[in-house]
Amino acid sequence: MVVASLSPVHGDHIRSLSIPIVDLSGHRGLISELIVKACKESGFFKVINHGVPAAVISQMETIALDFFSLPAVEKQRAGPPNPLGYGSKAIGQNGDSGEVEYLLLHTNPSMSQRTSTISRMNPTKFSCAVNEYVETVQELACEILELLGEGLGLRDGRVFSRLIRDRESDSLLRLNHYPPCCNKEDINNDMDVRSGRIGFGEHSDPQMITLLRSNSVGGLQILSTSSSDGAAWVPVPPDPNTFYIMVGDLLQAMTNGRLVSVRHRALVNSYSSRLSMAYFGAPPLHEWISPLPEMITPQMPRCYKSFTWAEYKKAMYSLRLGHNRLDLFRKD
Ligand code: GA4
């Protein structure tokens, strides 16, 4: 069933805002406080000194570029996305699209058709690069989730990280390639092009946490709702040496709305192509998601129902990209 999007369409009001930077080599207590603050205020921050070796990142980037530079027919052999695999322009099954091509992989090699479909490439080289990247980035995600658990004062500081460390975790890796939008003439003639075409439309990530790394080409924007003069898009400066961290819907539900999942989008507005790699940390499919008891107080009564990740996924695939899907699981 296709349900029409109920989310508001946000205009093109642009605002600049400083994005919190968390130095992971700093004092643990201080870092966890900063992370909690950023996740409460905007659900978005950047980490430096993250410990992911540059070689692991560049190896993954090279392999991704090798894949995207294959002839279209070769890439299409890894598609259409169902939902994993190669896709071009179409996003999900409900009519969303953007100026993007992508490869969506499960982080558990046994769940992915990864190697068999990456036909013309060296499958061993490809899976080694992906596995190494996924293992390292998953470790970073767990570290951040544990810092969050500590910062929130949870009795069990590993309650979040345990879910994505689980062997059956349903985490994903997404490689996005945004081609350059246009040539100079197009830019001179067309206002729409000048203001930037949509590469990937407005949405929040459904999982617990997203770790995003991109090359030095900009395009990511986050929606800021904190100011009294309404919502506005904040362009995020590209920084290939860092990771951007985003709170997903599940973390918002588990913290009873204390942490907020960030709405974001990507534009193609440059002469160069943008490559981004997103790791989405998710629990196993059968896992129940509920607000943690410690997050429920008389001042903050429970605001979400319990649901399994599989139920949430079913809802999300029946809806448009920009839908505020977590609202369907609000307690009335
Ligand atoms: C958004 C976050 C991830 O990229 C993704 C996307 C997924 C897809 O591309 O298949 C979805 C989208 C994302 C949420 C709503 C549904 C599903 C496209 C779409 C329209 C892989 C994910 O997990 O959810």
191 pLDDT more than 80: no
CA distance 51 to 48: 8
116 pLDDT more than 70: no
**If you measure from the C-alpha of residue 320 to the centroid of ligand 1, how many angstroms do you get, rounded to a whole number?**
9
Judge whether 103 and 174 are in contact, CB under 8 Å.
Answer: yes
> Could you tell me if the ipTM is greater than 0.90?
yes
Residue 109 within any structural domain of the chain: yes
Residue 57 within any structural domain of the chain: yes
The pLDDT assigned to 105 comes to: 96
Judge whether 66 and 267 are in contact, CB under 8 Å.
Answer: no
Q: Is the dihedral of CA 287, 141, 78, 85 positive or negative?
A: positive
> CA distances (Å), 108 to each of 30, 36, 128, 142, in order?
33, 29, 13, 16
CA distance 69 to 228: 45
Residue closest to 115 by CA, chosen among 160, 63, 170, 171: 63
CATH number, domain of 86, equals: 2.60.120.330
Give per-residue pLDDT as tens, 95-113. 999 999 999 999 998 776 5
> CA distances (Å), 89 to each of 80, 172, 304, in order?
11, 19, 33
227 pLDDT more than 80: no
213 pLDDT more than 70: yes
Residue 12 within any structural domain of the chain: no
Residue 269: pLDDT band by 50, 70, 90 thresholds? confident
Residue 276 within any structural domain of the chain: yes
The pLDDT assigned to 115 comes to: 47
187 pLDDT more than 60: no
Place of tokens 């309404």: 230
* Catalytic residue annotation: 274
**If you measure from the C-alpha of residue 317 to the centroid of ligand 1, how many angstroms do you get, rounded to a whole number?**
8
pTM above 0.90, yes or no: yes
Whether the CB of 92 sits within 6 Å of ligand 1: yes
Residue 168 within any structural domain of the chain: yes
Q: Which domain holds residue 276?
A: 21-181+194-328
Whether the CB of 174 sits within 6 Å of ligand 1: yes
Tell me which of 223 and 13 has the higher pLDDT.
Answer: 223
The pLDDT assigned to 262 comes to: 98
CA distance 284 to 97: 28
The pLDDT assigned to 126 comes to: 92
Tell me which of 11 and 149 has the higher pLDDT.
Answer: 149
141 pLDDT more than 50: yes
β 85-91/96-106 pair status? antiparallel
CA distance 321 to 175: 18
Give per-residue pLDDT as tens, 159-174. 999 999 999 999 999 9
The pLDDT assigned to 119 comes to: 54
Give per-residue pLDDT as tens, 200-212. 999 999 999 999 9
Residue 328: pLDDT band by 50, 70, 90 thresholds? very high
Residue 84 within any structural domain of the chain: yes
Please state the rounded mean pLDDT for residues 34-46: 98
Whether the CB of 96 sits within 6 Å of ligand 1: yes
CA distance 206 to 45: 18
Contacts of residue 45, defined as CB under 8 A and 6 or more positions apart, other chains included, come to 19, 20, 21, 22, 34, 35, 38, 39, 244, 245
Residue 304 within any structural domain of the chain: yes
Mutate which of 316, 317, 320, 326 for ligand 1 pocket (most atoms within 8 A of beta carbon)? 316
Whether the CB of 172 sits within 6 Å of ligand 1: yes
CA distance 178 to 159: 36
Give the residue whose CA is nearest to atom 7 of ligand 1: 92
Residue 188 within any structural domain of the chain: no
Whether the CB of 201 sits within 6 Å of ligand 1: no
Judge whether 241 and 317 are in contact, CB under 8 Å.
Answer: no
Whether the CB of 321 sits within 6 Å of ligand 1: yes
- Provide DSSP, 93-105: TTTEEEEEEEEEE
User: Which of ligand 1's atoms lies nearest the C-alpha of 96?
Assistant: 20
Judge whether 5 and 323 are in contact, CB under 8 Å.
Answer: yes
Number of domains in the chain: 1
2 pLDDT more than 50: no
